[in-house]
Structure 1
Amino acid sequence: MRGAVAMPIKIPDDLPARRTLEAEGVVVMREADAIRQDIRPMRIGLLNLMPNKMSTETQIARLIGATPLQVELTLVRITHHVARHTPADHMASFYRPWEDVRTERFDGFIVTGAPVERLPFEAVRYWDELRRIFDWTQTHVHRALHICWAAQAALHHFHGVPKYERGGKAFGVFPHRILQPASPFLRGFSDDVAIPVSRWTEVRRDDLPSAVHVLAEGDETGLCLVEDPARRSLFMFNHLEYDTRTLADEYFRDQKAGIPIILPRYYFPADDPTRDPVNTWRGHAHLLFGNWINEMYQTTPFQVHRIGI
Structure 2
Amino acid sequence: MPIRIPDKLPAAETLQEENIFVMSESRASTQEIRPLRVLILNLMPKKIETETQFLRLLSNSPLQVDVELLRIDNRPSKNTPEEHLDTFYRQFEAVKQRNFDGLIITGAPLGLVQFEDVIYWDHLQSIMDWAKDHVTSTLYVCWAAQAGLKLLFDLPKRTRKQKLSGVYHHQIHDPHHSLLRGFDDEFLAPHSRYADFSPEFLSEQTDLDILATSEQAGVYLASTKDKRNVFVTGHPEYESHTLHHEYVRDVGEGMEPDVPVNYYPNNDPEQSPRASWRSHGHLLFSNWLNYCVYQQTPYDLDHFSEENFTKDE
Q: TM-score, normalised by structure 2?
A: 0.94
Q: Point out the more displaced range, 41-50 or 192-201.
A: 192-201
TM superposition shift of 1:32: 1.2
Are positions 1:262 and 2:258 aligned together? yes
Which residues in structure 2 correspond to 1:1-309 (within 5 Å)?
7-208=1-202, 209-230=205-226, 232-295=228-291, 296-309=293-306
What is the CA deviation profile of residues 49-100 of structure 1, one whole-angstrom value per residue up to 9, with x for unaligned ones? 0111111100000010111111110000113443322111111110001121
CA contact (8 A) 1:106 1:307 kept: no
Unaligned runs of 5+ in 2: 307-313
Q: Point out the more displaced range, 58-67 or 206-215.
A: 206-215
d(CA) in 2 for partners of 1:99, 1:105: 13
What is the CA deviation profile of residues 28-66 of structure 1, one whole-angstrom value per residue up to 9, with x for unaligned ones? 112111011110110000000011111110000001011
TM superposition shift of 1:254: 2.0
d(CA) in 1 for partners of 2:147, 2:82: 26
Q: Point out the more displaced range, 200-209 or 39-48.
A: 200-209
Q: Point out the more displaced range, 140-149 or 163-172.
A: 163-172
d(CA) in 1 for partners of 2:305, 2:77: 30
Pair 281,166 (structure 1): closer, same or farther in 2 beyond 3 Å: same
Taking only aligned residues, the RMSD between alpha carbons, in angstroms, comes to 1.3
CA contact (8 A) 2:153 2:206 kept: no
Pair 304,243 (structure 1): closer, same or farther in 2 beyond 3 Å: same
Residue identity opposite 2:277 in structure 1: W
TM superposition shift of 1:167: 2.7
CA contact (8 A) 1:13 1:31 kept: yes
The number of aligned residues is 303
d(CA) in 2 for partners of 1:8, 1:115: 30
Q: Point out the more displaced range, 39-48 or 248-257.
A: 248-257
TM superposition shift of 1:246: 0.4
d(CA) in 1 for partners of 2:284, 2:75: 30
What is the CA deviation profile of residues 246-267 of structure 1, one whole-angstrom value per residue up to 9, with x for unaligned ones? 0011111222333322111100
CA contact (8 A) 1:213 1:226 kept: yes
Q: Point out the more displaced range, 292-301 or 74-83.
A: 74-83
TM superposition shift of 1:221: 1.0
Q: Secondary structure at the match of 2:14?
A: helix
d(CA) in 1 for partners of 2:225, 2:78: 36
Q: Secondary structure at the match of 2:187?
A: strand
CA contact (8 A) 1:170 1:197 kept: yes
d(CA) in 2 for partners of 1:24, 1:80: 32
Unaligned runs of 5+ in 1: 1-6
Q: Secondary structure at the match of 1:249?
A: helix
TM superposition shift of 1:144: 0.5
Residue identity opposite 1:41 in structure 2: P
